[in-house]
């Protein structure tokens, strides 16, 4: 008897709460992946990638980089040429599979329109040289339901895509020069 009287109330509450629950949904993770082939031995390319604090030696979008040698938990600070610092730390490093995974540990949404990312660089042998894959899972800088245009999903994906593309081009130039 009590259940039959409460059912309409429960149904009404569910109907009224549904829009609130739908609007409470936060940002969804975005993904970016870029690949490049480099005419250099995988071990030579891997040496550059795993030199974690010295990414600016091959990444043209960076004005400065500093940090700790590659190890789990190692930190680095990268300074973008457009201004602003990002702090990153290593989650995993695998010498055997030539794989480095790191994450954003301190965001700077005014410099780079993401609130969080984790990224992985992988070096594999291919066609007498190397293929490098750089992939990331990220969230936009503005995590509200109606983000600002310069801090929305599209801005975050565009920024990360440009960072990866230019970085891989710089890695290719630095690695191929070193082998010729």
Q: How do residues 85-140 score in pLDDT, each as one tens digit?
A: 999 999 999 999 999 999 999 999 999 999 999 999 999 999 999 999 999 999 99
Q: Classify the C-alpha dihedral 31-37-42-46 as positive or negative.
A: negative
Q: Helix, strand or coil for residue 115?
A: strand
- Domains of the chain plus CATH, in order, are 31-179 (3.30.530.20)
Token representation of residue 55: 């990414």
State the pTM of this model: 0.85
Give how far Cα 179 sits from Cα of 41, 44, 55, 61, 162, Å. Answer: 8, 8, 19, 23, 26
Tell the residue number behind the tokens 């310069």, with chain if given: 150
Tell me the per-residue pLDDT of 21-73, one tens digit each, with 9 for 90 and over: 445 567 899 999 999 999 999 999 999 999 999 999 999 999 999 999 999 99
């Amino acid at each position: 008897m009590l259940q039959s009287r409460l059912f309409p109330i429960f149904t009404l509450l569910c109907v009224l709460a549904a829009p609130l629950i739908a609007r409470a949904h936060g940002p969804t993770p975005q993904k970016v992946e870029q690949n490049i082939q480099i005419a250099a031995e995988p071990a030579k390319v891997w040496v550059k990638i795993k030199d974690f604090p010295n990414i600016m030696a091959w990444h043209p979008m960076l004005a400065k980089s500093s940090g700790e040698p590659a190890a789990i938990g190692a930190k680095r600070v990268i300074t973008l040429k457009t201004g602003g610092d990002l702090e990153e730390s290593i989650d995993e490093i695998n010498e055997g599979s030539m794989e480095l995974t790191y994450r954003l540990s301190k965001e700077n949404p005014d410099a780079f329109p993401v609130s969080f990312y984790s990224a992985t660089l992988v070096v594999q042998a291919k066609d007498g040289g190397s293929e490098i894959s750089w992939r990331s899972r990220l969230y936009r800088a503005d995590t509200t339901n109606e983000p600002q245009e310069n801090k929305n999903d599209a801005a975050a994906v565009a920024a990360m895509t440009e960072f990866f593309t230019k970085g891989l081009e710089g890695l290719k130039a630095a690695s191929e020069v070193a082998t010729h």
